[in-house]
Structure 1
Amino acid sequence: MTRVLLATRNLKKLAELQRILDGALGPHRIELVGLNDVPEYQEVPETGLTFGENALLKAREGCKWTSLPTIADDSGLAVDALSGMPGVFSARWSGRHGDDRANLELVLAQIADVPDEHRGGAFVCAVALVLPGGKEHLVEGRQSGRLLRAPRGEGGFGYDPIFLGDGQDRTNAELTPQEKDAVSHRGKALRALAKVVAKVLPVSPG
């Protein structure tokens, strides 16, 4: 079975990608591993100015150090009233990387005076696949919607509790994992990536 590295320590992302790949690849399987499953290496800073640049930086580094086909993503929230921010800074918007609650509360505070009709935004996700031979693939997914004034729901992570996607009556945090996969930026990007994986990687019957 082909081993593929997902360059993250986020177990929720690892489970999410495995779930989506399993659904998209049908009877074929790859063995997905995370950074906790490979020898530790110095992770590259996310210095890119776009989601795509950061995804490629992380995927190249993982492939270089492990010699495994490597998938990496960068995603975040682009708020219309904040001129597309926090964008690539979404995970560290409050100053502490990965503090979901602080990040969410800061965004809500920054748009507290913005009328409901101007609280639009989108989740954006870029996913890169870098192969040991040097070939690179990049896909992107997007989910448009608007920001609520208070969190709703216990599921998901990040800004999910305040994001109501277009056509939804529940936030991303109120959706089941399967419902979220069907509409989310990451779900769309990963389904596009699964098509690439099926073409460029040897996948084994499950």
Structure 2
Amino acid sequence: MKKTRLIVASGNVHKIYEIKKILKGLPLEILSKDEVGLKDLEVVEDGKTLEENAIKKAIEVSKKVDGIVIADDTGLFVDRLDGRPGIYSSRYAGEDATYEENNRKLLMELDGVELEDRTAKFKTVIAIVMEDKSYKTVEGECLGKIALTPRGNHGFGYDPLFIVDGYNKTFAELGEDIKNKISHRANALRKLRVELENILKG
């Protein structure tokens, strides 16, 4: 059976691995933007929302390749901080900030705030640009709280700080198998899978 090309507008190896795992079994050849020769393509994420950023990234890549293109944008929205870091989550402590620097800044901003007042949600929006250049988006959320100190050593980004509702453990403590079932990205990717199944049938 001929496979349809699905290009992920990202070079993040964690992300590609997660996507391949959740879309396993579909007749897709899943490639990162690096693998289709777009390693140097940097899209400026200047949208006001996750949706705008995801759509912009997917459209820019789709102009240069054949196939279906997906792009996602994820943000951590902390209630006590009026939704920050939000769309700036990956560069919260500065343009080239490390995960540790972002985490440090977040803990500093929440210094003195009790655990029950550190409610937050992770949200992922995935944009899908079809071969005819039409597009749609799907999204997933995960609710939790921000830990008082980093916990666990799996995962990446804010995983050591995000205590998932109903688990009393951070993503970094739960490990990738559980994370890949319950996370914001997993929820969005499951919806993506349904959309792709429909597209492939169509």
TM-score, normalised with respect to structure 1: 0.92
Alignment correspondent of 1:44: 43
Query: 1 CA distance for matches of 2:119 and 2:64?
Result: 40
Alignment correspondent of 1:97: 96
Which protein has the bigger helix share? 1
Of 32, 35, 42 in structure 1, the residue corresponding to residue 33 of structure 2 is 35
Alignment correspondent of 1:57: 56
Unpaired runs of at least 5, structure 1:
none
Q: In the TM superposition, what are the counterparts of 1:88-167 in structure 2 within 5 Å?
A: 88-97=87-96, 99-167=98-166
Unpaired runs of at least 5, structure 2:
none
- What stretches of structure 1 move > 3 A for 4+ residues in a row? none
Secondary structure at the aligned position of 2:106 is classed as helix
Relative contact order (C-alpha < 8 Å, sep 6+): which is higher? 1
Query: 1 CA distance for matches of 2:177 and 2:97?
Result: 24
Deviations 1:147-176 (A, max 9, x none): 111111111111010110110122101123
Q: Is the 8 A contact 2:159 2:172 kept in 1?
A: yes
Amino acid at match of 1:134: K
Secondary structure at the aligned position of 1:112 is classed as coil
Query: 1 CA distance for matches of 2:174 and 2:97?
Result: 22
Q: Percentage identity across aligned positions?
A: 37
Secondary structure at the aligned position of 1:32 is classed as strand
Amino acid at match of 1:159: Y
Deviations 1:53-100 (A, max 9, x none): 110000111111112210000002101111001000000000033511
Report whether the alignment pairs 1:199 with 2:198. yes
**How many residues matched?**
199
TM-score, normalised with respect to structure 2: 0.94
Alignment correspondent of 2:188: 189
Alignment correspondent of 1:11: 13
Q: Is the 8 A contact 1:62 1:68 kept in 2?
A: no
Amino acid at match of 1:19: K
Query: 1 CA distance for matches of 2:143 and 2:17?
Result: 24
Amino acid at match of 2:171: N
Amino acid at match of 2:142: Q
